Structures are given as C-alpha cells and as structure tokens.
Amino acid sequence: MLAIALATVAAGAVPATAAPAPAPAPRIDWQACTDPDFAGMRCGTMQVPVDWSQPHGSQLTLAMTLRPASDPAHRVGTLLLNNGLGRSSIEQLGFAMRRLPQFGGALTERFDVLAVDPRGVGHSTPVTCAEPLKPAGLSYFPDDRNAFAELVAHNRKLGQNCLRRNGSLVAKMDQSSTARDFDAVRAALGERQLNWYGIQYSDLLGRTYAKLFPGRLRTMVLDTAVDDTVSPAAWSLQEAGAAEDSFNRFAAWCTNAPDCVLKGHDVAAEYDALVDGANRTPIPAGTTRAPLTGEDIQAATQDRLTLAEVAWPVLAKTIAKAQAGDASSFAGPADKTTDVVQERAQACADTPRQIHSHRQLAQVQRQLAEKSPHLGGAVSSALAMAGCIGWPTPPRPVHAGDPVQGSPPALVLQSTHQSYAPHSAGYAMARQLPGSVVLSREGDDYSMFMVSQCIRDAANRYLTDRTLPAPGIVCTD
C-alpha cells in the first residue's frame, strides 16, 4: 500500500560506500513493551548519528520492537521486518502479530522478529512539518507554466519548512544512511548476520544494505520488488501500467462479484465520471479536510487496490460513497502505518531530479495518461517525481543494476498483478542479487506471506535452511 519505493538510478548517481569514520559502540536500551498489541515483546531505542560521516555529531533515536522466537531452543537468528516508504515497521508488526503467530510457522517459531522504524519515520525520531503535503488548489499535473511554478514553489516551501523544524535529518533520510543505521542495530544485537524481510521500498533498502555490508545478511526475502534500474520517468510508467492493470481487474471483478456494492455496473465508466465531476466540483471529504478533486481520487486509488480480497470490496464502497457526495473514504492513505510527509521526505532523499521544466513534466505526464487512462498516471512514483521538483536538499541515489557481491541469493516474491509493481520488476531485482529466484503468485496482492500457504512454505524453508524453490514456480492459492 504503500505508496512506494522511489530511489532510482540516473546519471550521476553516487555509489554506496561504507561509513568513513568509526562511531561509538552501539547499545540498545530495552524494556518491556506497554502497548497491548505488543504484549510479551521488548521495545528498545538506540542512538545513531544523523550524519554517519560525523559519528560524534548530532544523534537521532531509532525505535524498535522485538518479538522473541516462540521456540527458542531451535532459534535460527533475527529477522528484520521492514515496511514500505514512509511506513512504520513497528505498526506493521503490531498488525501482523494479531494473526501471524497462528500460521507463521518457522518465521515466528525460530526467529526473533525485529521491527525498526527507519530514521525520520514513525516511532524513531520523526520528521514533522507544518506545511501540508498538497494544499487545496495545487496540482501535481500542472496545466501550464504558471501552475508548474506554483507546484515548484510549494515543494520548496514544504522542504524548507521541514528543514527548519527537523534540521539536517531531512537531507539524511536516504537509503545509504538508513542501511548504516540497521548495521548499527545488528552490531548492538551481537549478531554476525541478519535475515531480511522487505516489502517494496525496503527491498531496495535491503539491496543497498547488502552492497554496503557484504556478508552481513544471511537471507533476504523481498516481497513485491520494484525496478529502480531505470530512470524515474520510466519507473513511473512501469508503475502506472501496473496500477491500471490492477484497476481494470478490479472493475472486471466488480461486474459479477456478490460482495461488490457496484455489482452489475460499468465500474470503470462510473469511476471516470466520478473523477471528471470532482475535477469540476470537488467532493466534500469531511469537516476537517478540503474537498477532493478528481486528481486526489485518482492518487488515492492505487493504495486501495493492493490486497484484492480485503481492499477491493472496500474500494467499491468508497466509490459508491463518493458518488453519493462523500469522498472522505478517499482521504488519507489506505495503509494507516503511513505518514505522507515522511514518505515524501524519504522519496526526495533518494529520487534523482530528472524533471526541471513544465515542458519535460508535461511530456512525461502525457505518456502516463496514455499508459493509465483511468488513473491518469497518478501513481506513487509519478507523484514523488513531481513532488520533489524544487525540494531544497539534493538527492543521494544509490546506483542500481550491477550485481551485488556478498549478497545472499534472495527469494523474490512477486504477484503476477500488483498495483505498485509489474511482474517483470521481480526479475530486475533478482538479476542484481546473484543466485536469486523469483517465486510468482497468481493474483493482485503484496505482503504475500499473510495470504498464501504456498508462499509461506517456500519462505519458511528458505529462511531456515536457505533452500530456494526451483525457478519458474507460480503459486496459485
């Protein structure tokens, strides 16, 4: 859900390099968690440098939650659970543990499951900003040069506000800095190697960790990989095509599904009419939010397509509710672990600046609209590409595409249809991690460990004894 991973390769991308100066010995302060969702778990904090090139300079706090292995006699190690861009891994763990211990198998029995919120996100030292991400009247799809100038000016104003309130942390939310944090956590745990479970953005983060610290990952499970070996514009076109495919599958499902409130309707046509009408007259979205435009509705739809069995019936109700004059269910992220401003700050720390003029942006957005006529190309990476133009701090993208030496062969889990990434993105990731295998699943979901026994069996086998499935297998459950 995610809105999603946005660090892309471009000319001038900087290579990932190890930290040049020694940092103080890391230490985690542990205590029993007090939140009922984390009963029996340990909550911890540790200090790390804001700037890893100045290890004795300003510090930030990393927050983490650890769920001990339920079969400690057969414990294998620590599994680092990661979430998507701008999303709290700790909150993700809380949601997962409501069900996961009942069917998680070896993952919960033989591994300490550790969730660490990345720097700037969630329960770690958070980036907080006073400016809204997108004020009323602003468009990420500007019609002319004046509207483009307004967009750039707002992006700059937002970024400058974030800098004033949070200091240099805003400029240091890049993948390389975050990966160094996680290695400090590894050292503080006393572990020689970690096991990695990533989703979307954190798949890229895991690859960056493996590049920076070869040999320090024992296993890598990468769920819903994205392809950052291409330019930001090409990435957004890939993602727009994937989201449009998901929307079309949702609309087709809705035609005959008994749990779709729009059953029997031409859902795609009605959605288009809803968007067009909202662009003319924005639809109220509650007493505390500005009315939503059609662009707002399109931008909110991708994240509401990610888990078919759960999300699609809700999306149908959300459309019907908006048709009746209440767009509040389209307001805010569908994934409640997400902070949209923190998501943008992370994205702008990594995303190369490919667009510098209205002409360039308009050209890409015409291609996006052709690729994604219903959603208009309003997908996560395209919004970040536009939303980072004018951002006051430069990006620090990590070069992608070359084989990562010292990485374990990864298990890449990729749906055949997913609104954030095409199926082909799994293979683009696997090519960078020698020996890796893509395990496909027929369907529209991410977080596939939660919904597929076939995926769970393969992931648990790999995590425990590092045996990968044969290439070419497609799970159908």
HEC secondary structure over 232-300: HHHHHHHHHHHHHHHHHHHHHHHHHCCCCCCCCCCHHHHHHHHHHHHHHCCECCCCCCCCECHHHHHHH
Is 395 inside any structural domain? no
CATH number at residue 84: 3.40.50.1820
Both 225 and 238 in one domain: the answer is no
> Where a domain ends, among 387, 412, 437?
387
Q: What is the pLDDT of residue 99?
A: 87
Do 436 and 374 lie in one domain? The reply is no
Residue pair 92/337 in contact by the 8 Å Cβ criterion: yes
**How many domains is the chain partitioned into structurally?**
2
**Residue 3 resides in a domain:** no
Residue 363, domain extent: 145-167+231-387
Q: What pLDDT does 385 receive?
A: 96
Is-contact 441 421, C-beta < 8 A?
no
pLDDT for position 2: 37
Same domain? 407 vs 351 = no
How many beta carbons lie within 10 A of that of residue 288, not counting itself?
Answer: 7
Same domain for 302 and 269: yes
Per-residue pLDDT of the chain (477 residues; tens, 9 = 90+): 433 333 333 334 445 555 555 656 789 999 999 999 899 999 999 999 999 999 999 999 999 999 999 999 999 999 999 988 889 999 999 988 888 889 999 999 999 999 999 999 999 999 999 999 999 999 999 999 999 999 999 999 999 999 999 999 999 999 999 999 999 999 999 999 999 999 999 999 999 999 999 999 999 999 999 999 999 999 999 999 999 999 999 999 999 999 999 999 999 999 999 999 999 999 999 988 899 999 999 999 999 999 899 999 999 999 999 999 999 999 988 888 899 999 999 999 999 999 999 999 999 999 999 999 999 999 999 999 999 999 999 999 999 999 999 999 999 999 999 999 999 999 999 999 999 999 999 999 988 999 999 999 999 999 999 999 999 999 999
Q: Among 387, 416, 438, give the residue marking a domain's end.
A: 387
Model pTM score: 0.92
Instruction: Tell which of 363, 387, 411 closes a domain.
Output: 387
The reply to whether 135 falls in a domain is: no
Shared-domain flag, residues 187 and 46: yes
Q: What three-state secondary structure class fits 313?
A: helix
Are residues 320 and 247 part of one domain? yes
3-state secondary structure 7-22: CCCCCCCECCCCCCCC
